[in-house]
Amino acid sequence: MDLVFALALNGIVWGLIIALIALGLSIIFGLLDIINIAHGDFFMVGTVLAWTVLQTTGNYWLAFLLVPIIGFGLGLLINHAVIQPIKNAAALSIVATFGLSIILQESVRATYGAAPNRLVAPIQETLLLFGIQYEVYRIFAAAIAIFAICVFFGFLHKTKLGTWMRAVRFDPEIATAMGIPAHRIYMVTFGIGFAMAALGGVVAAPITTVDFQGGIDILPFCFMAVIIGGLGNLEGTVAAAVLLAFVEGIITSFTDPTIARIGSLIFMSAVLIVRPHGIFVGATR
Amino acid sequence: MTMIELRDLNAHYGKVHVLQGVNLHVGHGESVALLGRNGVGKTTTLKAIMGLVRPTGGSVFFDGREISKLRPYQIPRAGVGYVPQGRGIFPMLSVEDNLFVGLSKRPPQDIIDYIFDRFPRLRERLKQSGGTLSGGEQQMLAIARCLVMQPKLIILDEPTEGIMPILVKEIRREIDAVRKTGVSILLVEQNIKTALSLCSRVYLMEKGLIAHEASSTDLEKDSDTLHRFLGVDV
């Protein structure tokens, strides 16, 4: 029973981290109509950068500040070089971001090597939680993910830039005719998407491995969260990510993770049959 | 003095040559209507002015400056207000967010007071989402959203389309009030009576070209021309 509880708790923590990453995927899809196959690699770059910050400075906490900023910058660069030239061509976006995914993975392999690295969590303590010793860092990771998600929604609903993002997302032509620089909004959105995935990487690095293929497993999970949550529904994406990871956590305690993932895929298929537009229909208002 | 001038404006949708050399002008403080049957290129002309359809030839001069080379988002900032067909309200944004969406900061208080004096219903519904307003209220919001940017010219694309008749009068009155403040107006309107009552001069479009120009008073009496270009009597 303790194992079930621990894995369920791990599922929730992991779900919140996935929610943070999937939100980036969702805003990029919602605003730019880009199906970003490289999004998992943005997470992977985040883990690698976090590892680099730790190796360079010896201070892991710095990574929480530096990596999202670097991720934002990389997002701006990639948007300019890869995304803008293929804007409004969803089919091309799959090919282009698939290519980008390979470039990012191979660049990391060429620079950091192929061997996976493990990071020691910056918080080593454990806590007695409902009869089990639970890592404090995982609770901290969940708190950081919740905080980042809240900041993101606050930004979206309470700032001018967030209002512009929502306006451009709804109707870029009218938004432009009102004086909103839509091309800059696209750029910033891609940057924010990368930064969120990179922050997810920093948060997750101590509880996963750091290697050039670290994003491969994340990507389908993020897509499942975005699809089950209802395409374009940001709150739905968060709820679906947590729900999926929680269910996978529970299933993993009875069987192996591959079966759990198959269970998630069956769950997604069932949702799409019953509710083709996802559980939480409609774009975020 | 000319507020806006279109010189030999051309535009294409793919291979379709929609605007085939449109020439028109609107003077300072003047109200001009652009009329024509469906599909002659009226909305495309307005979109070309706003940069939403890229002109493939010709130019647009606004207040002595060529705006057809500006980025589209710079055109409203240069002083060209646009009330699009179908109103273009963002339904998920609040009335307040819709109203100030084009501005990077809140406008001066006297502008806000002016807007709310003109459109008191908007003040009452400031926190409501734009999508919950009636068609007439959305049109008021679209006009108010345009006015907060203090434009020198307002382009209106069928402002009374789909509006309850009782509210059409109200919208007509508001446009007339804007006109009297000295703001230039370029109006596309299916309701000929509304267009002729609000504007002093009319351009009639046919097949992507300006085919006829007349004063409203002359056109009102010219049933042959109205029949030929619009298929209506006034």
Percent of chain B having pLDDT more than 90? 80
Mutate to test the interface with B, among A173, A178, A235 (most CBs of B within 10 A): A178
Is A176 at the interface with chain B, CB within 8 A?
yes
Is A159 at the interface with chain B, CB within 8 A?
no
> Under an 8 Å CB criterion, which residues of B touch A?
50-52, 71-77, 82, 84, 88, 90-93, 97, 101-104, 129, 145, 149
CB contact under 8 Å between A179 and B103, yes or no, is yes
- Distance separating alpha carbons of residues B217 and B234, to the nearest angstrom: 12
pTM, rounded to two decimals: 0.89
Residues A222-279 pLDDT 10s = 999 998 888 778 999 999 999 988 888 888 878 888 888 888 888 888 888 988 888 8
Q: Which amino acid, A68?
A: P
Q: Are B199 and B216 in contact (CB under 8 A)?
A: yes
Q: Is the pLDDT of residue A1 over 80?
A: no
ipTM of the shown complex: 0.92
**pLDDT (0 to 100) of residue A265:** 87
Distance from CA of A92 to the nearest CA of B (A): 20
CATH number at residue B226: 3.40.50.300
- Distance separating alpha carbons of residues A25 and A172, to the nearest angstrom: 19
Is A79 at the interface with chain B, CB within 8 A?
no
Contacts of B76 in chain A (CB under 8 A): 177-179
Percent of chain B having pLDDT more than 70? 99
- Measure CB to CB from residue B101 to each of A163, A183, A284 and give the nearest one: A163
Which long-range contacts (C-beta less than 8 Å, at least 24 apart) are formed by B229-233?
Answer: B229/B35, B229/B36, B229/B37, B229/B204, B229/B205, B230/B35, B230/B36, B230/B37, B230/B192, B230/B204, B231/B37, B232/B192
Residues A112-157 pLDDT 10s = 999 999 988 999 999 888 788 899 999 999 999 999 999 999 999 9
Of A179, A211, A28, A262, nearest to A105 by C-alpha is A211
* CA distances from residue B1 to A237, B39, B67, B82 in whole angstroms, order as listed: 55, 31, 17, 21
Chain A residue nearest residue B92, CA to CA: A285
Q: Are A68 and A74 in contact (CB under 8 A)?
A: no
Radius of gyration of chain B (CA): 17
**pLDDT (0 to 100) of residue A285:** 46
Count structural domains, chain B.
1
Domain that holds residue B152: 2-230
